[in-house]
Amino acid sequence: MKKIKVCVVVASRANYGRVKFLLKALQEHTEIELQILVGASLLLERFGKAINVMKQDGFEPNKAIYYTVEGETLITQAKSTGMGVIELATAFGELAPDYVVTIADRYETMATAISATYMNIPLIHLQGGEVSGNIDDRVRHAITKLADFHFVATEKSRERVIKMGEKESSVFNLGCPAMDVIANCDKSISNEHMKKYGGVGSEVDWNKPYILMIQHPVTTSYGEGFTQVENTLNALYRIEHIQKVVLWPNADAGGEDVAKGIRTFREHHMSDNFHFYKNFSAEDFIRVLNNATCAVGNSSSFLREGEFLGVPAVVVGDRQNLRECGSNVIFTGYDEEAIFNGLNKQIEHGKYPQGRVFGNGDAGKRIAEIIPSLKPNLLKPLTY
């Protein structure tokens, strides 16, 4: 029997963390031939070169393509999207997949969706229907209208996608595949296990309390990233008795401003209880998040994985301010005092009850089981 060729496009460290167990499920399915296409920041050293983690996990990409234009500006982000369309179209032409799977709401996702659509390849979109409150919403909803099938993470997301005119039979709420990592990994942490990551700054004792910081650029407030991240770091600096673990920002427009803010702060406070890392494996990120006293910044992982684990989080700014979340999150603006007060409140509160807003940790296997039964139709009428 001919196998169904399913091509999953993975273009960032966050992408990989969210689909690792989906890749495993697709790889093991007897009716599916898994194809993996990697590109963009996943391949770049300054973002941790997460492709190496993927290979260590046993996933050998069918094709690797470079299409990230240097600069992290609005112009380079638009150009990277265009380059992605060109390179992805060539790769799809060579791989000839039956389905393309794309994830979430980044510019790489948009490039994937455009390429697959114009090549008449049925598109499967993960994590559609969500609302975050920034430019990602436009991208995410545009991809929904290009996609043929939707594997959403929450019931509210499912309702939104259907209200956008998508056929109810094409929308599946099976939870977020990122939760699969949590459900299937050892969440304990130790100095011995984490010493392989190196990084720079004060030595971290993973057996003692620490705060995890991840702050990405916000495209709709381009040019303000330096000040925004500076305020968060200054608020952290005032909490002297707890270690701080800072992870590098992503490759969105404005990323260089945020990175510059971190570098500038690091020059003056290298030995002040801060340690700076580029990347962790999917499982080790869960270890780091799970054992954090508190998390701060604007990563969606604080609302997704953090909610599943019950980790106290202070979410800064408007990058996630409309996204579904659990009781573990406090939202603040970019004001240093507000961030500082939020951190103290969450540190004092401690762990929250574990939640299940984004599923139970079995999404990957369930998605893989459904794909062979899908019936694509190149004609896609609006349904109301």
Q: Which domain holds residue 304?
A: 191-349
Q: Pick from 27, 183, 36: which is nearest to 103 by CA? A: 36
- Amino acid 260 reads K
The number of distinct structural domains making up the chain is: 2
pTM of the model: 0.90
Separation in Å, CA 221 to CA 41, 135, 140, 224, 382? 22, 10, 18, 6, 34
Shared-domain flag, residues 213 and 339: yes
CA 351 to chain centre: 23
Q: Under the phi-then-psi rule, with left for phi > 0, alpha for psi from -120 to 50, and beta for the rest, what region is 335?
A: beta
Shared-domain flag, residues 149 and 23: yes
CATH of the domain at 20: 3.40.50.2000
Residue 82, judged by CB atoms within 10 A of its CB (0-12, 13-18, 19+), counts as: middle
Q: Which residue has the tokens 């790489």?
A: 108
Confirm if 147 and 100 have CB atoms less than 8 A apart: no
Shared-domain flag, residues 100 and 195: no
pLDDT at residue number 361: 92
Q: CA-to-CA distance for 328 and 353, rounded, in angstroms?
A: 8
Confirm if 88 and 115 have CB atoms less than 8 A apart: yes
Q: CA-to-CA distance for 41 and 292, rounded, in angstroms?
A: 26
* DSSP category for residue 353: P
Shared-domain flag, residues 252 and 221: yes
Shared-domain flag, residues 147 and 226: no
Residues 6+ apart with CB under 8 A from 230: 261, 264, 265
Domain membership of residue 380 (yes or no) is no
Shared-domain flag, residues 78 and 215: no
Question: Could you write out the DSSP letters of every residue in 111-142?
Answer: HHHHHHHHTT--EEEESTT---SSHHHHHHHH
Domain membership of residue 115 (yes or no) is yes
Q: CA-to-CA distance for 15 and 302, rounded, in angstroms?
A: 15
* DSSP category for residue 153: S
What sign for the dihedral angle of Cα 182, 185, 189, 193?
negative
Q: CA-to-CA distance for 295 and 349, rounded, in angstroms?
A: 13
Identify the H or E element spanning 268.
Answer: helix 255-269
Shared-domain flag, residues 106 and 167: yes
Per DSSP, the three-state class of 60 is coil
Q: Pick from 151, 135, 171: which is nearest to 19 by CA? A: 151
Shared-domain flag, residues 230 and 325: yes
Shared-domain flag, residues 223 and 296: yes
Question: Both tokens of residue 198?
Answer: 């190196």
Question: Both tokens of residue 242?
Answer: 């707890």
Domain membership of residue 356 (yes or no) is no
Question: Both tokens of residue 113?
Answer: 């969706």
Shared-domain flag, residues 260 and 289: yes
pLDDT at residue number 272: 85
Per-residue pLDDT of the chain (384 residues; tens, 9 = 90+): 799 999 999 998 888 988 999 999 999 999 999 999 999 988 988 888 889 989 999 999 999 999 999 888 889 999 999 999 999 999 999 999 999 999 999 899 999 999 999 999 999 999 999 998 777 889 999 999 999 999 999 999 999 999 999 999 999 999 999 999 999 999 999 999 999 998 999 999 999 999 999 999 998 888 999 999 999 999 999 999 999 999 999 888 888 999 999 999 999 887 789 999 998 998 999 999 999 999 999 999 999 999 999 999 999 998 898 899 999 999 999 999 999 999 999 999 999 999 999 999 999 999 999 999 999 988 888 887
Shared-domain flag, residues 145 and 225: no
Shared-domain flag, residues 151 and 216: no
Domain membership of residue 354 (yes or no) is no
